[in-house]
């Protein structure tokens, strides 16, 4: 049986960032990815611009960067601008392939098409072989097998539906429409040659089929043409219940670190992956970055819970929020995750 100090399940941003840091620290690490291709995921591709700078992500990976954010409700519009870009967009396939290349350069082993079938104490089994580990990292998304092995339930979960439309929009837009999306929203995020158009909502308040139907209704009301595009959907886990469990760790969506309010999860995935690697290398490591993320994560959960109240209360509160943005009494980072 092949043995690794650390095995990471999942080759998304969380898993690859963790593997890269571990390999750079001299740890023998293996990443197992169930999909044949690393990178693609249902995602609008939005990420806070400051995160790109902090994480040293090459500018050539940017699909677009936007110093102006349009926030719209059925009653009003707000335009939030900054001297520097506020949000950027990336292509998840290109971003994943870049992260993969960086991880392999660092010396980590990565094996795709390797779905994990079972986990037991100190070992995991794929369809082809079994592996032994000292430390296990679950970076395998909202339906994490590692989370299930730890008997950690997932109750708070969102749904994202995305169409990549073969035409280019001019503005990055956030549409708050509680009559349709409750505490969620619809988005229009331009990329280089396409536009991501989709919607996000909490699953218990709005099941996926209902969300999709209301989204299609919304696109018609805004004269948005989805011709030539096909829908994709994904669950987004924001049910955080911890990240360290003796020699087993959870990162990114597996840990429930996505925003309850916006569904954004790329940045917290990467930071949690790095934090886990630093903790494995140095058990006394102080996770300041992840602590800051968890603080804002709690704020977003509180906001999402509040906005899931009555439709009238939700509508009035969101209108007040957008009015505050228009009057510059509120910063855009209430909507921005990190």
- Domains in the chain with CATH codes: 2-334 (3.50.50.60)
Q: Is the pLDDT of residue 21 over 60?
A: yes
Which of 170, 172, 166 lies closest to 185, judged by CA? Answer: 172
pLDDT digits (tens, 9 = 90+) for 240-274: 999 999 999 999 999 999 998 888 999 999 999 99
pLDDT digits (tens, 9 = 90+) for 64-99: 999 999 999 988 988 988 899 999 999 999 999 999
Distance CA 138, CA 124 (A): 12
As a whole number of Å, the CA-based R_g of the chain is: 20
**How many Cα atoms sit within 13 Å of 204 on the Cβ side?**
12
H or E element, residue 46: strand 46-48
pLDDT digits (tens, 9 = 90+) for 165-204: 998 898 999 999 988 998 889 999 999 999 999 999 999 8
Distance CA 134, CA 136 (A): 7
Which whole number is the average pLDDT over 28-42?
93
Distance CA 201, CA 296 (A): 19
Q: Is the pLDDT of residue 335 over 70?
A: no
Distance CA 275, CA 137 (A): 12
User: For position 308, what pLDDT does the model report?
Assistant: 64
Which whole number is the average pLDDT over 319-330?
80
Give residue 336's pLDDT band: very low, low, confident or very high (50, 70, 90). Answer: low
Contact between residue 231 and residue 239 where contact means Cβ atoms under 8 Å apart: no
SS3 167: coil
What residues contact residue 193 under an 8 Å CB cut-off, 6+ apart? 166, 168
User: For position 32, what pLDDT does the model report?
Assistant: 98
Model confidence, pTM: 0.93
Distance CA 228, CA 164 (A): 9
pLDDT digits (tens, 9 = 90+) for 202-240: 998 889 999 999 999 999 999 999 988 999 999 999 999
- The two structure tokens encoding residue 140: 């395998």
Which whole number is the average pLDDT over 295-301?
86
């Amino acid at each position: 049986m092949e043995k690794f100090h650390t095995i990471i399940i999942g080759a998304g941003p969380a898993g690859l960032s963790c593997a890269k840091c571990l390999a750079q620290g001299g740890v023998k690490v293996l990443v197992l990815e169930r999909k044949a291709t690393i990178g693609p995921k249902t995602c609008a591709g939005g990420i806070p611009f400051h995160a790109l700078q902090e994480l040293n992500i090459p500018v050539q990976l940017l699909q677009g960067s936007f110093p102006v954010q349009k926030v719209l409700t059925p009653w009003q519009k707000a335009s939030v601008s900054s001297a520097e870009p506020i949000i950027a967009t990336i292509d998840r396939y290109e971003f994943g392939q870049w992260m993969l290349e960086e991880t392999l350069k660092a010396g980590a082993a990565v094996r795709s098409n390797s779905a994990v079938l079972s986990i037991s104490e100190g070992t995991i089994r794929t369809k082809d072989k079994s592996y032994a580990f000292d430390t296990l990292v679950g970076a395998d998304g909202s339906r994490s097998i590692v989370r299930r092995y730890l008997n950690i339930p997932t109750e708070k979960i969102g749904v994202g539906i995305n169409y990549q439309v073969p035409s280019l929009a001019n503005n990055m837009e956030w549409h708050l429409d509680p009559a349709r999306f409750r505490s969620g929203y619809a988005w229009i995020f331009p990329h280089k040659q396409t536009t991501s158009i989709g919607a996000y909502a909490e699953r218990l308040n709005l099941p996926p089929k209902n969300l999709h139907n209301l989204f299609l209704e919304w696109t018609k009301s805004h004269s948005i043409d989805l011709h030539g595009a096909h829908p994709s959907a994904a669950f987004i886990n924001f049910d955080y219940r911890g990240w360290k469990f003796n020699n087993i760790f959870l990162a990114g969506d597996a840990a429930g670190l996505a925003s309850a309010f916006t569904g954004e999860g790329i940045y917290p995935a990467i930071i949690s992956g790095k934090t886990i690697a630093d903790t494995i290398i140095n058990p006394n490591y102080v996770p300041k970055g992840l602590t800051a993320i968890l603080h804002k994560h709690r704020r977003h959960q509180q906001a999402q819970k509040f906005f899931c109240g009555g439709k009238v209360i939700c509508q009035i509160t969101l209108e007040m929020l957008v009015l505050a943005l228009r009057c510059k009494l509120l910063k855009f980072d209430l909507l921005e995750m990190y």
